């Protein structure tokens, strides 16, 4: 699972495919709320605001 900004979505997808050999789902964090989990505020790769969850 990767939480990333828009700039790093492609990198996260590539890392997911390399690790799991399957296509991930990409979730827009602006449109999705989780009842039991608060996503990180910052991108895994930089200090930008996290916008997408790649799972």
User: What does the pLDDT look like over 24-46, one tens digit per residue?
Assistant: 999 999 999 999 999 999 999 99
Residue 14 and residue 42: Cα distance in Å, rounded?
Answer: 19
Domains contained in the chain, number: 1
Identify the pLDDT of residue 11.
98
Domain that holds residue 33: 2-54
Tell me the average pLDDT of the chain: 96
User: Residue 51, by phi and psi: left (phi above 0), alpha (psi -120 to 50) or beta?
Assistant: alpha
Identify the pLDDT of residue 22.
97
Residue 39 and residue 28: Cα distance in Å, rounded?
Answer: 11
Q: How confident is the model at residue 54 (pLDDT cuts 50, 70, 90)?
A: very high
Share of the chain above pLDDT 70, in %: 100
The pair of three-digit structure tokens given for residue 1, joined into one six-digit string: 């699972």
Q: pTM for this one?
A: 0.91
């Amino acid at each position: 699972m990767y939480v990333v900004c828009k700039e790093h979505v492609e990198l996260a997808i590539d890392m997911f495919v390399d690790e799991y050999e399957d296509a991930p789902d990409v979730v827009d964090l602006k449109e999705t709320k989780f009842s039991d989990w608060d996503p990180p505020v910052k991108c895994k790769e930089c200090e930008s605001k996290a916008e997408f969850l790649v799972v």
